[in-house]
Amino acid sequence: MRWSGNLEPVFYASWVSLILLPLIKLYVPVEAIRAHVDLFATHKVPTGPALFQEAPAFRNGIHCLPSSVDKSEAESVCDATAVHIAMTLDAVYLRGSMAAILSIVQHSDCPENLIFHFLVSHGDVELKTLLRNTFPYLRFKVYYFDVKLVKDLISASVRQDLEQPLNYARSYLAEILETCIQRVIYLDSDLIVVDDIAKLWGTSLGSHTLGAPEYCHVNFTKYFTPSFWSNSTLASTFETRIACYFNTGVMVIDLTKWRQQNYTRRIEMWMEIQKEKRIYELGSLPPFLLVFAGFVEPIEHRWNQHGLGGDNAMGSCRHLHPGPVSLLHWSGKGKPWLRLDSGHPCPIDSLWAPYDLFIKTKYADE
């Protein structure tokens, strides 16, 4: 983020509100505290007072292409010079999403040239208001993802959170986003970006539709059930390709190619087989592996240091992998905001904490 000299009043106004916030929150009524608790207990979308601090203004550096903030929303959403980022938004991961957004704009050289596309399954009006209040300068559009699209295609899986229909929204980006958008970066909500996202945006996809960091040493056996491997037709899916694992939490997608090749339909076909035969245990990842593994443009590993949430069974702490880091991803069971609140964080969680905009109400426990 660059502070340009002539924007100092904005800068100071943000600082003043940051300094005043601890005072303001002393006057939050009891109902609001209860609303905080309810929000995370019942997955309701907040409607009451702000739960998140207002993020400071973020402005383009002088070398940035002029952004089209003055144009109408439709034109602005289609801005071909912009970096388009898609994320889902729901009450359970809202705190993570807010931190992710802040980390992205804060490390961006040209933050005004970012356009966010948020997919929600309910409470779109409330979430839009909340986003606008937290990030008054953010360019974004909220899209409604109709969970009925996938409800019938989802089968029971090991981890209940993977059954959240919004997890499948990433398969429908090509349909949901405006057709004028030709490329998008999809990001999960349990991550922070500590580098300029424009570098990821600028990655070449070669002839491929999808780019992601690949892990070619991963044994695919465990991702699919015996009923997959014992059916020779199904098992042969990976025979003619060098299939590498990739995490679907960070993907660069060529939406034009995706639409032309009907990849959504291909993913749905695997989901239909899954319903009938149970060929895998996890939720939204295996169909992506089935369709794309072996046809992915490899992106530098620094763009998805995943698994920081820890082991599914143990809830154990993880450390960063060696090498440079541009994006930290708390995939796995543990989430940094929950561990920080519990008073037993993992060491790595201290890297997430500075991006937390959630207004903590210490006196709520008293």
Ligand X SMILES: *[C@@H]1O[C@H](CO)[C@@H](O)[C@H](O)[C@H]1NC(C)=O
Looking at beta carbons only, is 14 or 261 nearer to ligand X? 261
Looking at beta carbons only, is 179 or 262 nearer to ligand X? 262
Among residue numbers 310 through 349, which ones bind ligand X (CB under 6 A)?
A: none
Residue 220 CB, shortest distance to ligand X, in Å, is 8
Residue 234 CB, shortest distance to ligand X, in Å, is 5
Looking at beta carbons only, is 122 or 259 nearer to ligand X? 259
**SS in 3 state form for the chain?**
CECCHHHHHHHHHHHHHHHHHHHHHHHCCHHHHHHHHHHHHHCCCCCCCCCECCCCCCECCCCCCCCCCCCCHHHHHCCCCCEEEEEECCCCCHHHHHHHHHHHHHCCCCHHHEEEEEEECCCHHHHHHHHHHHCCCCCEEEEECCCHHHHCCCCCCCCHHHHCHHHHHHHHHHHHCCCCCCEEEEECCCEEECCCHHHHHCCCCCCCCEEECEECCCCHHHHECHHHHCCHHHHHHHCCCCCCEECCCEEEEEHHHHHHHCHHHHHHHHHHHHHHHCCECCCCHHHHHHHHCCCEEECCHHHCECCCCECCCCCCCCCCCCCCCCEEECCECCCHHHHHHHCCCCHHHHHCHHHCCECCCHHHHC
Residue 293 CB, shortest distance to ligand X, in Å, is 15
Looking at beta carbons only, is 72 or 219 nearer to ligand X? 219
Q: Which stretch binds ligand X (CB under 6 A): 72-80, 114-122, 169-177, 219-227?
A: 219-227
Residue 295 CB, shortest distance to ligand X, in Å, is 15
Among residue numbers 254 through 283, which ones bind ligand X (CB under 6 A)?
A: 260-262, 273, 277
Asked whether position 72 contacts ligand X by CB under 6 A, the answer is no
User: From residue 227 to residue 246, what is the string marking binding to ligand X with x (rule CB under 6 A)?
Assistant: ----x-xx------------
Looking at beta carbons only, is 133 or 225 nearer to ligand X? 225
Looking at beta carbons only, is 130 or 177 nearer to ligand X? 177
Place of tokens 């809202």: 94
CA 67 to each of CA 63, 92, 110, 114, 290: distance values in angstroms, whole numbers, following the listed order: 12, 33, 9, 9, 39
Residue 192 CB, shortest distance to ligand X, in Å, is 33
Site for ligand X (CB under 6 A): how many residues?
Answer: 11
Q: Residue from 6, 42, 160, 221 that binds ligand X (CB under 6 A)?
A: 221
Residue 186 CB, shortest distance to ligand X, in Å, is 21
Among residue numbers 18 through 37, which ones bind ligand X (CB under 6 A)?
A: none
Q: Which stretch binds ligand X (CB under 6 A): 73-81, 156-164, 214-222, 291-299?
A: 214-222
Q: Residue from 6, 72, 207, 219 that binds ligand X (CB under 6 A)?
A: 219
Residues that bind ligand X (CB under 6 A): 219, 221-222, 231, 233-234, 260-262, 273, 277
